[in-house]
Structures are given as structure tokens and as C-alpha cells.
Amino acid sequence: MGKISWKPGTMLYPLPVVMVTVGEEPAEYNIITIAWTGTVCSDPPMLYISVRPNRHSYAILKRSGEFVVNLTTRKLAFATDWAGVKSGKDYKKFSELKLTPGKADIVKAPIIVESPINIECKVVSVTPLGTHDMFIGEVVNVMAEDAYIDKESGAFTLAAADPICYSHGQYHTLGPSLGKFGFSVAKKKK
């Protein structure tokens, strides 16, 4: 065992992998799959997506200033990959993938109805960094699939939706929970 020094690179994994939806009207609705995404602030709730300027969704994002982050699941893994490989220049991705565009509550961009969580965002800044521009979005609403809301506690159980992540070129489901935040200092129940 020992350490080897590599060249600099993007080696932060596992990452989320989400389907971002854009478009102000049905004719321009598009889906772009993104792993360069994360939460950047708790309050106000903000996240980012990084997008290459040559992507079809880029101009729509810039003009509309809105997008929706749709979480992905095992059932959506094929669509997630396909929407990341193919371009909205060549395909109507919603119909090709048999996904249903739904009405968001606040933004004009559509939600993907089949996704368990849809995060509606308004762009607050765009920062060119190199290959990618970083769009920071403020979360203006979250839509949740009620099938995953626990009837007794009212809590949303994301694990029941079978979420996936992206790790070093591979899509993965999640394994069992190792514990919740704070488990290392939790008092054991007697």
C-alpha cells in the first residue's frame, strides 16, 4: 500500500446524476443529464448545474433563466443514460423516452412526472469556468411523488424510490444505510 501522485482530474465520486428539464413551451422542452450538480447553500436553498456551452439546452437555460432538476431512479437509469448521450438537436427526448412532461408549480420548464422529486430552480448566476459554465439556481419549489410519502409520519422516503448515483463512469443503486447523520455520537437505546 502507498500513494501514487496523478495528474489533476475530476475524481470526486460518487455524484448525483439528474435529468434537468428546460424549455418555456412544449416545442422546446428538452432533457439533459447532468452529474456536475450539487447543493451549494442550505438557506436560501440553492444548487448548481454545470453545462457545456455547446449543449442544446445551454441557450434555452440562458434565455429562460429556469430549469427543473429531476431525481433519477433504477427504473429511470436507461432514460438517464440515453438523455445524456443524445442531443435535443436531434431528438424530442420526452417522446423518445416515453417520459411525461408535467406542469411545474412556479417555473415554465416542465417536470418529469416519472421522477420522484422535481426541484424547480430560477437561475441567479452563470459563471464560465472553462469547459463548463456553472449555473447557480435558487430552489423555488419542490414537487414530490406522494407514493413515497409515509402515511403515518408524513416524511418523504427517498430510499423507497430506489435512487441512483454516478461513480467513476458507472451508474449505481444504493446499498443499505450505514446509519443516519449523527450516528457516531448517538446514545444507544437501552
DSSP 8-state secondary structure symbol assigned to residue 33: E
| Encoded amino acid at 85, one letter | V
What is d(CA 162, CA 164) in angstroms, rounded to the nearest whole number?
Answer: 7
Q: Which of 147, 151, 152, 189 binds a copy of itself (CB under 8 A)?
A: 147
CA distances from 105 to 81, 108, 126, 172 (A): 27, 8, 23, 30
| Phi and psi, residue 122, nearest 5° | -115, 130
Under 8 Å CB-to-CB from 60, ≥6 apart: which residues? 22, 23, 24, 28, 30
Contact between 47 and a copy of itself (CB under 8 A)? yes
Cis (ω within 30 of 0) for the bond into 116? Answer: no
Of the candidate spans 21-29, 53-61, 87-95, 163-171, the one that interacts with a copy of itself by CB under 8 A turns out to be: 163-171
**Contact map string, positions 48 to 77, toward a copy of itself, x by CB under 8 A:** x-x------------------x-x--x--x
Q: Smallest gap, in angstroms, from Cβ of residue 42 to a copy of itself?
A: 5
Q: Which of 29, 43, 91, 150 binds a copy of itself (CB under 8 A)?
A: 43
Contact between 87 and a copy of itself (CB under 8 A)? no
Q: Smallest gap, in angstroms, from Cβ of residue 97 to a copy of itself?
A: 10
Contact between 123 and a copy of itself (CB under 8 A)? no
Contact between 187 and a copy of itself (CB under 8 A)? no
